[in-house]
Structure 1
Amino acid sequence: MSIEQEQAQRAESLSNAVRGTMEEFSTKPQPTNPKHRHPRNGSSEIDDARGALSEAILETARWRLEKAEQFPSETRNTRAAELLRRIAASVTDVPDDLMRRYSEAWHDETASQTSETQSVLLRDIGFRSASAIATTLVEHLMEHVDDARLDPDRG
């Protein structure tokens, strides 16, 4: 078996393992914090933000797996998908005050900048970024959002 065939076989095996783990994770109910109930519907605004962040991360992981299938010799895509899955699993560990800031960034004048920056940061994971936990990811995002608030022309 050639090196290319071995790499493709390993990439496919890892891709299948990541995909199965992601499907399992995405079907599990996300834990909620009963201290932070949203007044309209009883859900927590912070828990809603956690769910949205987890889904955005997992969507990027799915996109990376598609890229891995499209470009089997580029092994970073599969590794990035696995890293994104682990980051999504750590969203529940992000401190509530940081998640509150994250949630607020989606509901003010920086929402467009927040969306664009989050997309860039997620795509960079496994390529230009080595963020390994959701807390670091959200901290980086909030730094960019804060900078955009201070200098709106920058965004």
Structure 2
Amino acid sequence: MSRSIDYGSLMHRAMRGLIQEVLHSVSEHGLPGAHHFFITFDTTHPDARLADWLRDRYPDEMTVVMQHWFDGLDVGDDGFAVTLNFGDDPEPLYIPYDAIKTFVDPSVEFGLRFETHEEEDDDGDDPDPGPDGPEDEAHHDAEIVRLDSFRK
């Protein structure tokens, strides 16, 4: 029986732990300086909680921004709760860390992208190699996101 180190799972855990630590610091001290976050998450995740009208509008994934106004940031072991403003309507959300697809802080050009296990599929044939092009043949569990895709 051969054993191997599952670096992919270890990286997932470490990067999600980093997000948890950052959000915990923000919950205690607020956002420092120009820091702000774009967080894209899977709205189909069984533990994600959001209003029905948001789930209808974003049936697969949603990107939220934590910048000028957010309230009730509560950071837990498995995810975080936060109330965000959607067109002058505050809405509570619960986002499990496992549902996060990207976490970006453009103020310091930092970003993470998480691939799901379905995307790391069996045959490796990927019809859309993504922004890294064909030279990035292997899928990674977490990687830096190019910020040009978020810029206007």
Do the two structures share a fold, i.e. TM-score over 0.5?
no
TM-score of the superposed pair, with normalisation by structure 2: 0.29
Higher-Rg structure is 1
TM-score of the superposed pair, with normalisation by structure 1: 0.29
Higher helix share: 1
Higher strand share: 2
